[in-house]
Structure 1
Amino acid sequence: MAEARGLRSVRLRQARTSAAVVVVLALAAGCSDGGGDAEPSVSSSSPSQQPSTPAPSTSGTPSTPATSATPSGPVKLTVAGTVATGIEVPWGLAFLPDKSALVAERDSGDIKRVQGNQVSDVGTVPGVDPSSEGGLLGLAVDPQYPRRPYVYAYYSSSDDNRIARLTFSGNRISNPSVILDGIPQAAIHNGGRLRFGPDGFLYAGTGDGGDRPTSQDDDSLGGKILRITTDGKAAPGNPGNKPWFSKGHRNVQGLAFDGTQLYSAEFGQNTWDELNSITAGANYGWPGAEGISRLDGMVDPLAQWRTNEASPSGIAFAQGHIFMASLRGERLWAIPVAGGKRTGEPVAFFTGQYGRLRTVEVAPDGSLWLTTSNTDGRGDAQNDDDRILRVTITR
């Protein structure tokens, strides 16, 4: 259980101020946000998922623009600077209409506001019970904010995972109200990502809580992508009038929309992590399938990676690509997609350069905000971790 089962990554790093190449000598096996529950296969990713031109893994000072270029790739990503430092285990990140952002600290249960280069405390979500992978997780801002001055938080309590609605006004959160509870909770596999869809409904990725059959149990909220109203009710048009939109997931960590098309990132177990194209009522196979399995009645992923190359967390859509932050893989993947289909090979950026990467979101100016996750007990924290990096996208 958890990454402690595997060997730690063994790396030779020079100081952050050095421009030396970071060489990854060995990668560890683990669980969930460290990658599988057992030692992964020693082979590399399948050829169909291998980046056509892997990005070089070069080090650099985080506050200095650093580019990880792929000459034949469709986009180039550049770290243009550091937005904020000293945030402990940032997980959820959501922008407000004024272009500031709210950030959830997983273990403390605190919500921070990042405005310009200033970070302030806006309050603590009551009832958060952190664990190896649980705590204060996803955040989402009401699409009608500030007319409806609400922020939604997914968090682990001592009994379950819950979604709460909070009032955010005067730079403070208040009036917490649980709108949905009973999501399976454990030290691992808690899911936690929130995202409002273009239909105005709230989507939530959940995990199986370590109890595999829940993913196929239509009466369980575990191992699903939920689609609910802002009052926590099943959204109209859901399969069987249930709160869930799709099932057969192991541990959904990322959600992103390209128009009306939903994508999800999911932790695999021993071998394959996944990027999925989500369709209402579809079954994504867990626990019977992991990765591309071609099972009747099950939907295969758009792309898959060995767990040491990904252990995916947050995803975001911009400029025809899903951008996928990777924890154990310590890289940002760019996957070209259109209309629920993959249109090219995934390409990796910043491999080994900033440590574990947890969350990526599209900022109001079109850049990406990318958070590290090196203070979560599974990474190698530097003095300024955890950080939010600003990444620009060019072609």
Structure 2
Amino acid sequence: MMHRTCFAAQAALWVGAIGALGCSSASTAEGDGNLGNSGSELLAGTDYEAEDGVCQGTVDSNHTGYSGRGFCNTNNAVGAYVEWTVSAAAAGPSSLAIRYANGTTTDRPATISVNGAVVANAQPFPGTGAWTTWELQTINANLVAGSNKIRVASNTANGTANLDKLTVDAPRDTQAPTTPQNLRATDVTSNTIALAWNASTDNVGVVAYDIYHDGNKISEAAGNATTKTLTGLQPKTEYRLTVFARDAAGNVSATSNSVPVTTSPTSDTEPPTAPGNLKASDVTNNSVKLAWTASTDNVGVTGYDVYSGGGVIVTNVQGTQATITGLAANTDYSFTVKAKDAGNNVSGASNAVSVRTGNVPPGGGVPKTITQLSSGWTIPWGLAWLPDGSAIITERESFNVYTLTPSGTKKQVGKVPNAVGTTGEGGLMGIAVDPNWSSNHHIYVMHSASEGNRIARMTFDGNALSDYKVLIQGIKKSKYHNGGRLKFGPDGYLYATAGDAQTQSLAQDKNSPNGKILRFKTDGTPAPGNPFGTLVYSYGHRNPQGLAWDSAGRLWESELGDGSQDELNLITAGANYGWPTCEGNCNVSGMTNPKKTWSTGEASPSGLAIVNDVAYMAALKGKRLWRIPLSGTSAGTPTAYYVNTYGRLRTVEKVPGQSLLWLSTTNSDFNGKEPAGSDKIFKITIE
């Protein structure tokens, strides 16, 4: 992609507010929002390299200054050409910029055609002074929606100039489909759910419907379908289903209504017998080997689950032994095992076996004591530190902001205006305190609003919030994948995580703020040194969550995967972290692998903190706190604390100047299913 800080169409869309890429400034505290309403905009130029098209000649690299892997040196003949296949999401006028070099003084004119129709006859390609001097020839032409063939063909026996690439500013469809309505289950069996919904409409056309269970896509249907039968499901299991419509440009509708459906039992209602003779051996400081005698079943055992702390810690073990890793040192554990069959019938528990893990691992950084600091919270999300040592904390669904002192005194100090929920993971999320607090008393929040996700600034006088001002708006929101973390880095600039908003293609689109880590000044404009001159600092993220810096100033990030692997990443400016091509590790050139991965059942990470170069990662679905020692750019062996003890863990933050963490739960959300006011905040001493 070709990247520009601002371009005409974007400026038109972001008049009156700082746009997603930091192109203009707000004239009012509220901001004017998106003013474009045509359903299309001119996309910043997409590059098509000559060597990736049809080159009637040779692909050479003997002259410097080209982009990509080389340039096309066409044959010296009339009609010698380069042809590109260009995709346009919508029909309309486009700009075609051809980068070329001509090291002679002789013009090398060419005929330019689009889909066989001539749009420029004998277009000049005059000398550029040297074969290493590259210039642009730009024309306008109409493209059709879908695939287009663009050809540059020589008019003379000299052939064309050396052609490097074609940059196309094509119309882009930016109008999302309407919301699918009336999602319903029409039939349910033990392993299938038949769904139906009312069709969405779109200005160009719906190409697919994406079906989600909570935040994970589990299936899709064709754009002309309004039904889908989900197969391969577990019996006696609740699925919380929603449907999104998607068009060819990747625009995604708002979510349908949510439908909770529980699959039926099978005809087999007889559970397996309980596993017997559970024994533990080979106990280390972070692992233990378990073995048991097999269960029996009238149909057949399909696997075993290992329990500890009142919940499952390892699922679907095949065979009759398992090595449990990631345990905390110097800690007592009790384990049981249960068998299950194809009908999702679960046996009784085996005998319990208790062990105590070994000594503290080298390097220390072990959570020593945990104490409840405060209760009565409902989805506490963001936490930042005020100069007096107290914390300022957001609640996601109420949009309230509180202070909490080290002694546990809680006080509401305001509510963020213009915040809205997304019936999922959006709402009032991250919060940060200005390092220059003494001179400005500014705090910063990230929240969902009517048009998308925003970053705003407010003033806090120690008692109440005021002076709401939008800094960045129009970051796409969705029911899930909103990111939301907001922190100041050691360089004094703000960093924010923005999820892909369930539109996977945005993560690889450097012109979009979604699926990115953003870095910016306190006025909302891009920070100096950003790799693309925009707000974007890194890209290729699905749902980035925690941010923390080690002692050398390196940025680490925790990230929610899709269905298989969650990630701990070391972030560098301009790097591509792979989503949606990669989830976890992959071997794709130009994409950066994570430093550690976990199954989504073990982690589903949220907050991240670093104390003395040991990282602590809060896990939601995993219901544990992960400790990961860091050594330079490497991450060591993870160990888990508080497994199934306190429920879903959301935010973890280091107390400034102390070896102490504050940790919050998120048990009042739609996954935790606890009543409002069930969440707590703890403090943890680190040794």
**Shorter-normalised TM range:** 0.7 to 0.9
Distance 2:308 2:500 in 1: 39
- Pick from 588, 606, 619 the counterpart of residue 326 of structure 1: 619
Contact 2:429 2:446 in 1 (8 A): yes
**1:312 and 2:605 correspond:** yes
Q: How does 1:98-177 map to 2 (within 5 A)?
A: 98-115=388-405, 116-131=407-422, 132-177=424-469
Distance 1:84 1:312 in 2: 22
Matched residue of 2:594: which SS? coil
Partner of 1:78: 368
**1:3 and 2:211 correspond:** no
Contact 1:245 1:280 in 2 (8 A): yes
Task: Give the AA of the match of 1:107.
Answer: E
Partner of 1:345: 637
User: Residue by residue, what CA displacement relative to the aligned partner does 1:285-309 show, whole Å, maximum 9, x if unpaired?
Assistant: 0000000112111000000000000
Distance 1:8 1:216, change over 3 A: same
Matched residue of 1:305: which SS? strand
After superposing the two structures, state which structure 1 stretch, 103-112 or 258-267, moved more.
258-267
Distance 1:83 1:265, change over 3 A: same
Task: Give the AA of the match of 1:117.
Answer: G
Residue 22 (structure 1) shift: 2.2
User: Residue by residue, what CA displacement relative to the aligned partner does 1:167-206 show, whole Å, maximum 9, x if unpaired?
Assistant: 0103111101010011110000000001101111000011
Q: Which has the higher strand share?
A: 2
Higher Cα radius of gyration: 2
Distance 1:199 1:355, change over 3 A: same
Distance 1:357 1:332 in 2: 7
Contact 1:114 1:120 in 2 (8 A): yes
Contact 1:69 1:76 in 2 (8 A): no
- Pick from 63, 73, 92 the counterpart of residue 382 of structure 2: 92
Matched residue of 2:376: which SS? coil
Distance 1:346 1:126 in 2: 40
Residue 80 (structure 1) shift: 3.3
List gaps (5 residues or longer) in structure 1: 10-19, 29-40, 60-67
Distance 2:313 2:325 in 1: 19
List gaps (5 residues or longer) in structure 2: 1-211, 217-233, 240-306, 336-355
Partner of 1:282: 575
User: Residue by residue, what CA displacement relative to the aligned partner does 1:207-263 show, whole Å, maximum 9, x if unpaired?
Assistant: 000000000101100000000000000111111201010000000111001142000
Distance 1:56 1:272, change over 3 A: farther
Partner of 1:184: 476
Residue 8 (structure 1) shift: 6.7
Distance 1:292 1:356, change over 3 A: same
Q: How many residues align?
A: 359
Q: Percent identity?
A: 42
Distance 2:641 2:449 in 1: 35
TM-score (norm 2): 0.50
Distance 2:392 2:504 in 1: 33
Partner of 1:22: 309
User: Residue by residue, what CA displacement relative to the aligned partner does 1:3-58 show, whole Å, maximum 9, x if unpaired?
Assistant: 3889579xxxxxxxxxx962324889xxxxxxxxxxxx988xxx9x9537686557
Partner of 1:51: 326
User: Larger RCO: Structure 1 or Structure 2 (Cα < 8 Å, ≥ 6 residues apart)?
Assistant: 1
Contact 1:79 1:389 in 2 (8 A): no
Distance 1:69 1:368, change over 3 A: farther
Distance 1:53 1:120 in 2: 35
Task: Give the AA of the match of 1:90.
Answer: P
Matched residue of 1:147: which SS? helix
Q: Give runs of ≥4 in structure 1 deviating > 2 Å.
A: 1-9, 20-23, 25-28, 49-59, 68-76, 380-385
Distance 1:27 1:92, change over 3 A: farther
Matched residue of 1:151: which SS? strand
